[in-house]
Amino acid sequence: MKAKFLVPLLLFFGLAGFLAFGLTLNPREVPSPLIDKPAPNFRLARLDQPDKTFALEEMRGQVWLLNVWASWCVACRQEHPLLVRMAEQKLVPVVGLNYKEVRGDGAISVRGMALEAETAMAVERGQRWLKDHGDPYLLSVMDIDGRIGIDFGVYGVPETFLIDREGRIRYKHIGPITPESLQTQILPKVEELRRAG
Amino acid sequence: MPADPKLLLAVRHGLAAGALALLLAAPLQAAGPASVPDGLPAATDAGVAPALAADPKLEADMMELSHKLRCLVCQNQSIAESNAPLAVDLRNQVREQLAAGKDKDDVIDYLVERYGDFVLYEPPFKAATLLLWLGPLALLLGGAGWLGWRLRRRSVEVATEQALSATDRERARTLLAGGGDAAPDTASPEFRK
C-alpha cells in the first residue's frame, strides 16, 4: 500500500529529471553529422592572392582548424583577438573560410551585381578587415556564394572545424571560440590527434 | 451525497488517468508534420523572392520540399517560410538540384548529410527515434489498460464490501433487538479500520 503512493512521486521525479536535463541543452547547437567524416573538398580563390587558389587537400598531413568568418559578422570580431593570440603562440594552423563576405552583409544588395564585381569587393573588404584586426590565418579563402559553407553544414558564423591529418572533420565548434572552449575542448583534441599520428 | 462516493472516486481516478494519457500523447501531435501547411497559398511563403525557375512545376516541387525542411537559423520555420539568408541559399540549392534532375529523396539526403536529421521537420523513424514515435501510443495503451484493470478491481471490491456490510447489518439488527454481541467478528471491516 505504501509503495503505491510513491508511484506518482517517482513519475514526477522522472519527468522532472528529463526536463532538467533538457534545460542544460542548447537548441542552437545542432550536432553536425559530418564529425569523423572526410571534410568536403574545395578549391577556392585566396583572399590574399585572388588569382591563386587553395584546396583543402593541401593541408593533408597536418592537424588544423578551418575557421568560418566574415567582416560583417559581429561574433567573429569577438573571437578574433583569441585567434590572433593563438597565431602568435603558434598553437595550431588556422585556415580562414571567408563566408559570403559581400552578399552575407545585410547592408549590401548584390542584386544585379556581377560576380567579378562582388569578388573584387569581397577581396577589398576582407583584406581591409584583416589589416585592421590582425591576420591570424595561414591564409583565407573566399566562399563568395556560401556553397562551401553549405557543404560544411554551416548555419551561422563563426564556426570552427578541427580537421585531422587525413582530412577528416573531428570536431565542430559553433559560435565564437572562447578561452575556455579553447583550453578544455579544442587544444586537448588537437594534442590527441597529433599524438595519434 | 447522492452518488456512491466509491463510484465517484473511481470516476475521478479514471478521469485523471485519461487526462494524463492525453497530456502525454499531445507531443506526438506537436512533433508530427501537422505544422506543415501544404495547401497554403504561396503568398504566405517567404519565397516572395522572384520565382527563378521558369518552370512552374519545378517551382512547386521546390516549395513542397522546402516546407519539409527546417531552417537552422529560425528553427521554428521551414526554409520555405523563413527569410533568413541561409534559408534563401538552401531554397536555391533545392531548386538547382531539382533542375539538375535529382529526385526529391536525393535532395533531402543531400541536406541531411550536411545538416543532420534536424533539418527534417518530420523526424525519421529509426532506432533512436523509436521512443519518440511509439512512446505516446505505448503510454496511451498502458494508461487505458491500467484504467481498465483499476475499474474492474474496484467493482469487485465494492461488491465484496457490500456483502460484508450485509452481515454487519444483520449484527446491528441483533444488537438493536436487544441481543448481546456475543461474538464480535474481528475480521469485519469495522475492526480493520
Residues of chain B neighbouring A152 (CB-CB closer than 8 A): 114
The verdict on ipTM greater than 0.95 is: no
Mean residue pLDDT across chain B? 75
Task: Give the distance, in angstroms, between the CA of residue B161 and the centroid of all CA atoms in the same chain.
Answer: 38
Work out the percent of chain A whose per-residue pLDDT is above 90. 88
Predicted confidence band at B156 (pLDDT cuts at 50, 70, 90)?
confident
Cell numbers at A144, concatenated: 563568395
* Superfamily of B37-124 according to CATH: Cytochrome C biogenesis protein (1.10.8.640)
Convert the pLDDT of each residue in A107-160 to its tens digit: 888 888 999 999 999 999 999 999 999 999 999 999 999 999 999 999 989 999
A8 touches chain B (CB under 8 A): no
Terminal-to-terminal C-alpha distance of chain B:
22
Average pLDDT over every residue of A19-30:
89
- At residue B174, does pLDDT exceed 90? no
- At residue B3, does pLDDT exceed 50? no
Predicted confidence band at B168 (pLDDT cuts at 50, 70, 90)?
confident
The per-residue pLDDT for A70 is 97
> What domains does chain A contain, in order, with CATH numbers?
34-195 (3.40.30.10)
Predicted confidence band at B163 (pLDDT cuts at 50, 70, 90)?
low
The alpha helices in A42-141, defined as continuous H runs, are: 74-88, 115-133
Q: DSSP character for A116?
A: H
- At residue A2, does pLDDT exceed 80? no
Residue A188 Cα, gap to closest chain B Cα (Å): 26
B90 touches chain A (CB under 8 A): yes
CB contact under 8 A, A150 and B90: yes
Convert the pLDDT of each residue in A55-74 to its tens digit: 999 999 999 999 999 999 99
Residue with cell 534559408: B87
Higher pLDDT, A136 or B11: A136
- Region of A153 (left: φ > 0; alpha: ψ -120 to 50; beta: rest) is left
Domain range list for chain B: 5-27+130-174, 37-124
Residue A89 Cα, gap to closest chain B Cα (Å): 33
Convert the pLDDT of each residue in B79-99 to its tens digit: 999 988 999 999 999 999 999
The per-residue pLDDT for B189 is 55
Of the candidates B115, B104, B138, B147, which has an alpha carbon nearest to the alpha carbon of residue B12? B147
B133 touches chain A (CB under 8 A): no
